[in-house]
Amino acid sequence: MMLPVVFAGVAAAAAITNRQLPTAPDPLSACPGYTASDVQQSAHGLTASLKLAGTACDAFGRDIEDLKLTVNYDNENRLHVKIEDAKSIAYQVPESVFPRPDASASVSAEDAALEFSLTESPFAFAVKRKDRYWPSILLLLSAAADILNSGEVLFASGAAPLVFEDQYLRLRTALPKSPNLYGLGEHTDPFRLNDTDYTRTMWSRDAYGVPYGTNLYGNHPIYFDHRVASGTHGVFLLSSSGMDIKINQTSDGQQYLEYNVVGGIVDLYFLAGPTPTQVSQQYAQVAGLPAMMPYWGLGLHQCRYGYRDYYAIAEVVANYSEANIPLETMWTDIDYMYDRAIMTTDPDRFPLDRVRQYVDVLHDRHQHYVVMVDPAVAYSTTRDKNQSYGTFNTAAEKGYFLYKDGAIFQGVVWPGVTAYPDWFHPGAQDWWNAELVDFFSADKGVDIDALWIDMNEAANFNNFGEDPLETEKSGGFPPQRPALRDQPRPIFGFPAEFQPGSSPYPPDSWSYAPPWLAAPSDPNHGKRQASSVSRKRQTASPLVSRKRQTTGPAPNASAIGFPRSRDELLAPKYQIQNANTVAALGGLSNKTLDTDIVHYDGHVELDVHNLYGSMMSTASRNAMLARRPNRRPMVITRSTFAGAGKHVGKWLGDNLSQWDQYRFSIAGMLGFAALYQVPMVGSDICGFGGNTTETLCARWASLGAFYTFMRNHNGDTSIPQEFYQWPLVAESARKALDMRYRLLDYIYTALHRQSVDGTPSLNPLFFVYPGDAHVAAIELQFFYGDSVLVSPVTQENETSVSAYLPDDRFYVFDTWEKVEGAGAEVTLDNVGFTDIPLHVRGGTVLPLRAKSGYTTTDVRKEPFHLVIAPGRDGKASGSLYLDDGDSVEQKAVSEVAFAYDGQLQITGSFDYEGRVSRITVLDSGGCASDGCEYDETRRVATYTMDMKLGPVTLSV
């Protein structure tokens, strides 16, 4: 989380200031472009030399005279186009962070679905779709007749001359009018991107309130271009450099998309599709297949910033069970730490013994526990009671932190002055492993089940050029610890130490510790003083040079990439629209790491800034595996780069308790799950910042039940919003969780499939109905899996929603009433505050659990209830994947296929046991055998049985 409110207005102001910067005459108009020569056909593509075609314009750096172009048909559906400087000096995303996709199945140009063509002078290239691949998708798209328009041009760089400088790249493609473009996250802008006057900036940023139209925490430079009847393709620019991607029209109406990148190279992957799902699958081959998360991770998670002590944690757990709202996992934010220092516990509010005790209670009940860890390490050699702070000391001694001008770079995060791990240091992983293995030891530490990592953009409360010690003081870091208290109420189900009278402090009735309640009578007040004294003492130590050097030698010669002066690293001439930038010098470094920092291996922070969160993600997943080698790690991060889904899940950051953010959460989630291959994703339910309302939280509880990652979380200054706080919200949560938990294996199967071949587990409507032009802009409805259409009420105080039903057959979830979609909007009325409309797409066999349970462990004991929802052709199909839900290597799995065509056929492998207790056939003419009840009005036949899941054909 971040400091609330204070920075929100500032970010917005910064964005406005940016846009008001006076515009000089366009320095790019004089850029000469390139001429291609020496074009050599290769077995799987071609190479060519590019030479600057005139006088250098040096618009935002120095033009590079000689370039080389490499084109490779990586496989039938993927084309790789790389333009780099002839000497390969320019920075390229390191293989260690983004392993290059497998090109061992490269094909000849003739065998590829896409066609690359080039014009030598002025140099330009185009990527076309070949028509002869269309017949294979005639079956998939309904508007079959339109498809035969051949040779669709997907990308045409002739729209503007290529500019390739040491600190700036410009590449523009012409596009058809009114394109349907998606992706280029992370953002909170419309799911279908604006086509005019639109800038998407890529620069990781701690973005409190996830403001509209600004750069946020992570970066995924891939877009999907959906041309309905002419197919869908994807374009991925493999670059971690800061950039502005502009989507706009020229004054004479030519539509374009333009990359403006602060360095690096042009490294493009074209994905042929032609269906949206295939583009996702093809992108997964480039970015990597997402990690499978543990089954329990799909349960309900409860968190907040401001659970002040172990009583607060225990009480929330007890309140959930008293309210009979299934709670799977309890979380703790940075409150558990001693003065906000990672790898410590507060000895009074979260003493390790008590923490271990409540974790034991949770584990005994098959519940789970998760805490937050930040990358920044308190710049302190000691922690409480003058114990040595090994986390800092080891990394400082071994040089694992980031350095600037020979001293550890200092920022300010929650504990005050901090140092930042350098993930490029070859020793950093082992250090991080050792820290996590020790602190989160099952035998003597905080025995977490999953890990939450935050502030990894990397976030820094210290503005560029300010004195960290001053900022620590003026910002009051670490914040005052809340007063100690005795628990005022008995907490059912917890040991004596958690009951009233077990500690010598006065009771108070507040579960939380918002600042306005943090009494000054802190019995341990003196400790903070002591710790800041000890921090001050370090100022004199030789390890520490607190003075920031504003001038100094340029980074050493071993820096990777084109040599750039310090000013060029701090203030690249092309200024991207980073919302934290006010002044050019240091604007990119503002509230993060200084961009002139050179990492241990020579990488320059300006080039690798956008990788920090993903590198911490990988290191953290590895550390969790070192801690529990046989169990699937679940790591939830804030900052991501392309490919992060291989290692982590993602929550959508510090949103606000507002209706627009409730609505936006759908597009945010779909971006990560369907476009960026990070399928474990969700927003903070009921909102993080500000105060929620009863009806917003009630609606959000039901919508959140259809996020893959379902967590209620809010900030320390917000009112409590656990689902039991209001009867309406509790009821909404119970009803939605009942549906979610019955559907757990359905979504787990979808997540498994995505981890195997990249098929999205959550789907925008245009993924399921690519031929229907009306669904291209829909962002308030989505498919959970590919068969359950979710159409939440999206306006405050409304109890109806206008939802689009594609031209297909649907069934209302649970009542199983048949609804014929007409490819039109319908009004769904009387949707109470505890309800959410769900429709099952005809053609589906849905494997439900027969009943929900309090925990996912209980749910897994239930047999299956198969719901057969025939399509208009009378057929249905579905699948089910079963395993133990937790092991990295599975001993036994079942992969089951269901096919219905008057009879239900079950085939597949059945090594992991499952049972079926009920089969419900929708739109049925009557019972086909014994043990069946038929409801004539609803046309629903229900068969009861006790059947082991195995190969069988049933008349139902």
Ligand X SMILES: *[C@@H]1O[C@H](CO)[C@@H](O)[C@H](O)[C@H]1NC(C)=O
Contacting ligand X within 6-45 (CB under 6 A): 10
- Percent of residues in the chain assigned helix, strand, coil, to nearest 5: 25, 25, 50
Dihedral (CA of 94, 95, 97, 98) sign = positive
Q: Which of 46, 582, 728, 928 binds ligand X (CB under 6 A)?
A: 582
CB closer to ligand X out of 1 and 790: 1
Give me 265's structure tokens.
């190279």
Decide: is 572 part of the binding site for ligand X (CB under 6 A): no
- The residue (of 207 and 327) whose beta carbon lies closer to ligand X is 207
**Distance between CA atoms of residues 761 and 752, nearest Å:** 9
Q: Please report how close the Cβ of residue 723 comes to ligand X at its closest, in angstroms.
A: 18
Residues numbered 352 to 371 that lie near ligand X (CB under 6 A) are none
Q: Which is nearer to ligand X, 18 or 344 (CB)?
A: 18
CA distance 753 to 706: 18
Q: Least separation, in Å, of the C-beta of 567 and ligand X?
A: 13
- The alpha-helical segments, DSSP class H, found in 162-309 are 276-287
Q: Which is nearer to ligand X, 197 or 946 (CB)?
A: 197
Q: Among 34, 98, 217, 464, which residue interacts with ligand X (rule: CB under 6 A)?
A: 464
CB of 657 to ligand X, least distance (A): 8
Cβ proximity to ligand X, 241 vs 575, nearer residue: 575
Alpha helices per DSSP H over 581-611:
605-608
Nearer to ligand X, 70 or 194 (CB): 194
Pick one of 586, 764, 785, 847: the residue that binds ligand X (CB under 6 A).
586
| 242 touching ligand X, by CB under 6 A | no
Q: Give the residue, chosen from 32, 94, 213, 602, that forms a contact with ligand X under the rule CB under 6 A.
A: 213
Give CA–CA dist 387/440, Å, rounded.
Answer: 19
Shortest Cβ 23–ligand X spacing (Å): 8
| Shortest distance, position 590 Cβ to ligand X, whole Å | 4
85, 449, 454, 716: which is the annotated catalytic residue? 454
Annotated active-site residue in 63, 309, 348, 654: 654
Per-position x/- string for 609-648, each x denoting binding to ligand X as judged by CB under 6 A, each - no binding: ----------------------------------------
Q: How far apart are CA 133 and CA 710, in angstroms?
A: 40
The verdict on 250 binding ligand X (CB under 6 A) reads yes
Q: How far apart are CA 701 and CA 302, in angstroms?
A: 12
- Please, which residue, 189 or 895, has the CB nearer to ligand X? 189
Q: Which is closer to ligand X, CB of 463 or CB of 503?
A: 463
Give the contact letters, 705-724, x = binds to ligand X (CB under 6 A), - = no.
Answer: --------------x-----
Give the shortest CB-306-to-ligand X separation in angstroms: 12
Torsion sign, CA atoms 314, 859, 892, 620: negative
Q: Is 248 in the site for ligand X (CB under 6 A)?
A: yes
Write down the least CB distance from residue 392 to ligand X, Å.
27
Helix axes 694-704, 659-670, angle to 10 degrees: 10
Dihedral angle, C-alpha 745, 751, 754, 755, nearest 10 °:
-110
Contact (CB, 8 A) for 284 and 755: no
Using CB under 6 A, which residues numbered 843 to 882 contact ligand X? none
Minimum distance of ligand X from residue 6's CB (angstroms): 9
Is 800 within 8 Å of 830 (Cβ atoms)? yes
Pick between residue 147 and residue 667 the one whose CB is nearest to ligand X.
667
The least distance separating ligand X from the CB of residue 719, rounded to whole angstroms, comes to: 5
- Beta-strand relationship, 809-812 and 329-332: unpaired
Integer Cα distance of 208 and 187 in angstroms: 13
SS3 at position 952: strand
Which part of the chain contacts ligand X (CB under 6 A), choosing from 249-257, 545-553, 851-859, 880-888? 249-257
| Region from 73-81, 170-178, 244-252, 837-845 binding ligand X, contact rule CB under 6 A | 244-252
- CA dihedral angle for residue 846, residue 849, residue 851, residue 852, rounded to 10 degrees: -100
Nearer to ligand X, 101 or 185 (CB): 185
Q: Which of 42, 70, 393, 463 binds ligand X (CB under 6 A)?
A: 463
Site size with ligand X, rule: CB under 6 A: 25
Strand, helix or coil at 67? strand
List the one residue out of 785, 604, 632 whose CA is nearest residue 292: 632
Tokens of 944: 């009861």
454 is catalytic: yes
* Dist. CA 436–CA 624, nearest whole Å: 7
Question: Does the annotation mark 457 as catalytic?
Answer: yes
The token pair at 936 is: 């004539």
Per CB under 6 A, the segment of 286-294, 578-586, 607-615, 667-675 that binds ligand X is 578-586
* Least distance between ligand X and beta carbon 21 (Å): 12
CA separation for the pair 610, 215 (Å, rounded): 11
Interface region with ligand X, contact rule CB under 6 A, candidates 248-256, 607-615, 635-643, 737-745: 248-256
Return the range that interacts with ligand X (CB under 6 A); candidates 361-369, 575-583, 667-675, 807-815. 575-583
Among residues 39 and 517, whose Cβ is nearest to ligand X? Answer: 517
Tell me the residue nearest to ligand X as measured from the CB: 582
Does the footprint of ligand X cover residue 393 (CB under 6 A)? no
Least separation in angstroms between residue 718's CB and ligand X is: 6
Does 197 participate in binding ligand X (rule CB under 6 A)?
A: yes
Task: State the minimum distance, in angstroms, from the CB of residue 19 to ligand X.
Answer: 9
Distance between CA 266 and CA 259 in Å, rounded? 10
Hey, how many other C-beta atoms are within 10 angstroms of the C-beta on 807? 15
Among 457, 596, 862, 895, the active-site one is 457
The reply to whether 725 sits near ligand X by the rule CB under 6 A is no
Check binding of 512 to ligand X (CB under 6 A): no
Torsion angle (degrees, nearest 10) of CA 63, 69, 75, 77: 50
Q: What is the C-alpha to C-alpha distance for residues 728 and 740, in angstroms, rounded to an integer?
A: 18
Residue among 596 and 786 whose Cβ is closer to ligand X? 596
Least separation, in Å, of the C-beta of 473 and ligand X? 17
Tokens of 435: 């820290």
- Which residue in the set 198, 403, 505, 934 belongs to the binding site for ligand X (CB under 6 A)? 198
Does 587 contact ligand X by CB under 6 A? Answer: yes
Q: At what angle do helices 744-757 and 276-287 cross, to 10 degrees?
A: 60
Query: 516-538 in b/e burial notation, b at 16+ Cβ within 10 A?
Result: eebeeebeeeebbeebbeebeeb
Would you call 49 exposed, middle or buried from its count of C-beta atoms within 10 A (0-12, 13-18, 19+)? middle
Q: By CB under 6 A, what part of segment 164-193 binds ligand X?
A: 189
Q: Please, what is the Cα angle at 78 between 74 and 83, to 5 degrees?
A: 75
Q: Which two tokens stand for residue 667?
A: 């597009």
The CA-CA-CA angle for residues 794, 662, 840, to 5°, reads: 55
- Provide the 8-state DSSP code for 99: P
Any contact of residue 273 with ligand X (CB under 6 A)? no
b/e per residue 860-895 (b: at least 16 CB within 10 A): bebbbbbbbbbbeeeebbbbbbbbebbeeeeeeebb
**Binding-site member from 47, 321, 691, 857 for ligand X (CB under 6 A):** 691
The reply to whether 249 sits near ligand X by the rule CB under 6 A is yes
Reduced to 3 states, what is the DSSP secondary structure of residue 745? helix
Q: Measured from the CB atom, is 61 or 720 closer to ligand X? A: 720
Instruction: Tell me which residues are annotated as active site.
Output: 454, 457, 654
- Would you tell me which residues interact with ligand X (CB under 6 A)? 10, 189, 194, 197-199, 212-213, 246, 248-251, 463-464, 580-583, 586-587, 590, 690-691, 719
